[in-house]
Homo-oligomer: A and B are copies of this chain.
Amino acid sequence: LPTNKDVKFELLFIGNELLIGKILNTNSQWLTRQITLLGGTCSRINVVRDVLEEISNVIKEILNRSPRFLIISGGLGPTYDDMTLEGLSLSINQPLRINKTALSWITQKYQELYEKKRLGDPTITPAREKMANLPSDSIPLPNPVGSAPGVLLKKGITNIICLPGVPGELKAIFDESVKSEIEKEVGKRYFAESNFFVKGIGESSMAPAIEEVMKKSSPYVYIKSHPKQDESDSIVEFHLTTPNDPQCFDKSKDFLEEKIKTAREELESKISKLGGTIILKE
């Protein structure tokens, strides 16, 4: 059932590699896309280094903004600079404790690897045990492909979810355990979208037309223009989407798609009159 509420998400990525330009943050695009398709609203993305105080501070700030979900990615592994759980523990004042379920999963994982001769010694060393040391009241989420379990923890109205930074592990835990948590809060909600490209006219020449169609189709359509090059040799992509507006939440797929279709037709017609050429692909 639709909740008729705007379900806000914040994302937090933890890892020096994202702040020195070593890694392209593909997890961010993947997660925001999944959340959007599920009908949630991602209102902010935060990225901090592997510094305990900075992790703990940013989590406190996010919790003060009371999103319904805080999804944290990175820093769940066995090395000295994996300190997400310690940072979370500090920020919410819930001490780290060995979680028996998480520890049994980790023990079993290393035992399996040993039996398959993919690992020399399955002993649960301090580095491995660390991955089961969760803030009190955490619910561990199984990791179908890696060692570090995910974590779910409710704090006030916020569902805090910790996922590994390794993309395959993040996606696997999200699909298996997080998606259903989101659906519980968001309900059944539809998202429609459409895009096309325009050649031969600059963004600034189309600005009044965009605003006009946007106002007319409000609150069911959001129009965003993305210039692909500078205006002198311009291709502009248009992306029409269902906004996260409460008035859209109980509408059917057909209704929302019809609104997008009408807005697109009006926009295309105005752009053609201004001298632009509609093309379907870049």
Contacts and interface: CB of A to CB of B under 8 A. Distances in A.
Interface stretch (A27-35, A94-102, A149-157, A175-183): A27-35
Contacts of A24: 24-26, 29
Given A168-B229, A230-B168, A43 B23 contact: no
B25 A230 contact: no
A48 interface: yes
Tell me the number of copies of this protein.
Answer: 2
Interface in A126-157: 127-128, 131, 145-147
Nearest to A116: B232
B36 A29 contact: no
Contacts of A203: 77-79
B25 A31 contact: no
Contact of A224 (B17, B146, B222, B229): B17
Contacts of A26: 24
A232 B113 contact: yes
A54 interface: yes
Contacts of A201: 120
Nearest to A230: B146
The A contact surface, by secondary structure, is mixed
Interface string A214-237: 100000001011111111110000
Contacts of A58: 44
A59 B29 CA distance: 23
A169 B230 contact: yes
Contacts of A48: 43-44
A25 B42 CA distance: 15
Given A118-B232, A275-B120, A16 B224 contact: yes
Nearest to A77: B203
A47 to B, nearest CB: 4
CB-based closest 4 A-B pairs: A21-B33, A127-B207, A45-B47, A146-B230
13 contacts: A19-B41, A20-B33, A24-B29, A25-B28, A44-B54, A45-B46, A61-B61, A80-B214, A110-B204, A118-B233, A119-B202, A120-B205, A127-B204
